[in-house]
Amino acid sequence: MRIAILGFGSVGRGIARVILAKNLDILVTGLADSRSGMIDPAGIDIEAALARKEEGAPCGSPDIRPIDVVTGADYDILVEVTPTNVENGGPALNHIQTALQRKKHVVTSNKGPIALAYPELRVLAEENGVTLRYEATVCGAIPLIHAMQEGLAGNTISRLYGVFNGTCNYILTRMAAEGLTYAQALAEARELGYAEADPTYDVEGIDAAIKLVILANTVLDMQTTLDRVDRTGISLLTPEALHLAEEQDCTIRLIGEIVPAAGVLRVSPRIITKTHPLVVEGTLNAVTVETDLAGDLTFIGKGAGSIETASAVIGDILYIRDRYVQGS
Amino acid sequence: MRIAILGFGSVGRGIARVILAKNLDILVTGLADSRSGMIDPAGIDIEAALARKEEGAPCGSPDIRPIDVVTGADYDILVEVTPTNVENGGPALNHIQTALQRKKHVVTSNKGPIALAYPELRVLAEENGVTLRYEATVCGAIPLIHAMQEGLAGNTISRLYGVFNGTCNYILTRMAAEGLTYAQALAEARELGYAEADPTYDVEGIDAAIKLVILANTVLDMQTTLDRVDRTGISLLTPEALHLAEEQDCTIRLIGEIVPAAGVLRVSPRIITKTHPLVVEGTLNAVTVETDLAGDLTFIGKGAGSIETASAVIGDILYIRDRYVQGS
């Protein structure tokens, strides 16, 4: 099986390392990041590309842009793992559209195109007889979309809620455990690489809201947009509020919630009893799905990280291989 | 799509009710329980069969045995949901073998044949170009096998452990919460229908051990048998032991554990910190999977129940329909 990888940051390199380490019998025939690209029908030397990238050198030729790989390389699956842009989907949206039009399967970890344009992309995939998969866009390593599409097929989801952002969960865990202020806990999260220099995307609940929109549009039969998510972040939370919750054997978590029948999509800090399965520590994610047949199910795992996200992408690649490109 | 259902106890009737309630476009062309059977290529009136069963009448003709349905009915998928027999697999093993030989897909909730004969059944399915699915055999409504086979494809599982038996979990929860003795908690579980008249199968860890054997043989590339599981039940646990654990912010749970590389399979009461995601209340099941790429994942949900088990069976039926019998 042949894949082309767009994006050679932490996720793209994670995928490359897993392919090498596991002998997955996957040939990488195209590769590009924002600076350079490579196309080789016989298979790119991934180990050498990783080494160049680590030295700070371009991984390929500066003349080859990502879109050239999409249109010019020979591959079964386009693996779109460039950084998320939720304003307009960025170039990733065009990459994915172009690949689907070329009748190529697509696997992506890029939240932008899936949050903004899933209905159109799904139609495009169907028209071209190919598959679009995006497990890595929601809760990293947790196979939530697989579980909902397959294991829970036949169930009606009445409510879905959980901890969708590891950065906020880390900050709240530390505020509760050590009595830190929001600013102190955020500074600690930055030092450990859990928060960006500009933390707005995480702490104001935007990242969680995007994941809700993706779940709503892809597995909950809703048609919604980011501006319709009722959203409150954690930046105004005080240690006193957490202390009050603790006194009642509760704590506070940033909870994203969807109630499909009521059209509810919201992200907000919520008081929750400490014994609830959603009360996970550190940067973990946790999601509870309420169903009519299977009852309540909770999934807990790592929501971010290079190798964890690569795990979800690899799962999607193997899913497509086992169904659609076997023997190729 | 046409299915034949063997077994019309709580699981079989749960499946029939879901098919009716959800308009799943599934035709039931064969149906049998231990007393009677029906075959109708045009589709059996499921509602009437449910009504007869509830009145205590035979659901079909006493002359039609389950094996007659397997060999004589026209179906795409055999749904084998007769009671588990772990001594020799019981008639279910023969039903499944015969259906696979007839090139019919099989979905089962019956632990016996899967625990005893999975390698042979898989070969038989492959030789006949059909699929055998068994999600309902482990942890009821939790789509654990789906998650491990698909979402976590590409991962190596280094360890898997969890609460596999709801009856034991209920007893231990009540002993810890109320200071009940084992005998008192068991009596309560019996009253609520969570424990059988003879509780040995649950409280001695046999049920949990069978689930470990199924996971080992089906998704962990091991080849093992029930007698190789190191097994201790909960019947000798005292309230004092639980009290001592509580003093350390811990509790005791019956934990099933597999370490594939070391060949470890064991079921035993273990002391576990109360904040661990596996510490679930009541009859819930919970499983943690340790992987090389995705990190640790925990799945929590209902491990038993008529509709919950039906949910897993329906998930498998739809899985097969979407892949192999579409358009039929």
Q: Express each pLDDT in B200-251 by its tens digit.
A: 999 999 999 999 999 999 999 999 999 999 999 999 999 999 999 999 999 9
Pair A202, A165: CB distance under 8 Å:
yes
Do residues A281 and A266 share a domain? yes
- Smallest Cβ distance to B147: which of A24, A147, A291? A147
**What's B104's domain CATH number?**
3.40.50.720
**Which residues in chain B (263-322) have CB-CB distances under 8 A to chain A?**
275, 277, 280-281, 291, 293-302, 305, 307-308, 310-312, 314-315, 317-319, 322
Q: Tell me what pLDDT residue A196 has.
A: 85
> With 90 as the cut, is the pLDDT of residue B149 above it?
yes
Q: Give percent above pLDDT 70 in chain A.
A: 99
B147/A143 CB distance under 8 A: yes
**Which residues in chain A (156-215) have CB-CB distances under 8 A to chain B?**
none
B12 labeled part of a ligand binding site: yes
With contacts defined as CB-CB under 8 Å, which chain B residues touch A317? 154
B319/A281 CB distance under 8 A: no
Q: Give percent above pLDDT 90 in chain A.
A: 91
Catalytic center residues of B: 211
Q: How far is B221 from chain A (nearest CA, A)?
A: 16
B111 labeled part of a ligand binding site: yes
Q: Tell me what pLDDT residue B298 has.
A: 97
Q: Tell me what pLDDT residue B204 has.
A: 97
Catalytic center residues of A: 211
Q: How far apart are CA B14 and CA A227, in angstroms?
A: 41
> With 80 as the cut, is the pLDDT of residue B326 above it?
no
> With 60 as the cut, is the pLDDT of residue A235 above it?
yes
A294/B311 CB distance under 8 A: yes
User: Residue B328 — very low, low, confident or very high, per pLDDT cuts 50/70/90?
Assistant: very low
Per the model's pLDDT, the better-predicted residue between A173 and A323 turns out to be A173
Mean pLDDT of the region A295-319: 95
Q: Tell me what pLDDT residue A197 has.
A: 85
Do residues A247 and A231 share a domain? yes
B295/A315 CB distance under 8 A: no
Chain position carrying tokens 């035709």: B27
A8 labeled part of a ligand binding site: yes
Do residues B153 and B263 share a domain? yes
Chain position carrying tokens 């991934």: A46
- Quote the domain boundaries for residue A82: 2-140+307-324
Nearest residue in chain A measured CA to CA from B323: A323
> With 50 as the cut, is the pLDDT of residue A94 above it?
yes
Do residues B99 and B210 share a domain? no
* Token pair belonging to A3: 């894949």
Q: Which of B249, B293, B298 to mutate to test the interface with A (most CBs of A within 10 A)?
A: B293
B297/A301 CB distance under 8 A: yes
User: What is residue B61's DSSP assignment?
Assistant: B
- B152-188 burial: b if 16+ Cβ within 10 Å, else e: bbbbebebbbbbbbbbbbbbbbbbbeeebebeebbeb
User: What is residue A65's DSSP assignment?
Assistant: -
Mean pLDDT of the region A100-105: 98
Mean pLDDT of the region B304-312: 93
With contacts defined as CB-CB under 8 Å, which chain B residues touch A150? 143, 146, 150, 315, 319
B18/A319 CB distance under 8 A: no
Which segments within A82-174 are labelled E, that is strand? 105-108, 132-133, 157-163
Q: Tell me what pLDDT residue A328 has.
A: 43
Do residues B54 and B131 share a domain? yes
Do residues B92 and B197 share a domain? no
Do residues A127 and A54 share a domain? yes
Q: In this prediction, does ipTM exceed 0.85?
A: yes
Do residues A188 and A268 share a domain? yes
With contacts defined as CB-CB under 8 Å, which chain A residues touch B273? none
- Smallest Cβ distance to A151: which of B143, B297, B323? B143
Q: How far is B106 from chain A (nearest CA, A)?
A: 16
Q: Tell me what pLDDT residue B325 has.
A: 79
Going by C-beta distance under 8 Å and a sequence separation of 6 or more, which residues neighbour residue B198?
none
**Which residues in chain B (101-140) have CB-CB distances under 8 A to chain A?**
135
Q: How far is B318 from chain A (nearest CA, A)?
A: 7
Per DSSP, what are the bridge partners of residue A3?
A: A28, A77
- What is the domain count for chain A? 2
User: Residue A326 — very low, low, confident or very high, per pLDDT cuts 50/70/90?
Assistant: low
Residue A285, φ and ψ in degrees, nearest 5: -110, 155
Q: How far apart are CA A60 and CA A58, in angstroms?
A: 5
Do residues B115 and B20 share a domain? yes
> With 90 as the cut, is the pLDDT of residue B87 above it?
no
A311/B142 CB distance under 8 A: no
**What's A283's domain CATH number?**
3.30.360.10
Do residues B195 and B285 share a domain? yes
Angle ∠(B70,B71,B72) on CA atoms, nearest 5: 100
Burial of B238 (0-12, 13-18, 19+ CB in 10 A): exposed
Q: Which amino acid is at B77?
A: I
Q: How far apart are CA B185 and CA B31, in angstroms?
A: 38
A150/B319 CB distance under 8 A: yes
Nearest residue in chain B measured CA to CA from A141: B294
Q: Which of A11, A138, A293 to mutate to test the interface with B (most CBs of B within 10 A)?
A: A293
Selection from A53-57, A196-200, B103-107 with the highest mean pLDDT: B103-107
Do residues A101 and A169 share a domain? no
Do residues B61 and B199 share a domain? no
Q: How far is A72 from chain B (nearest CA, A)?
A: 28
B315/A150 CB distance under 8 A: yes
Q: Tell me what pLDDT residue B324 has.
A: 84
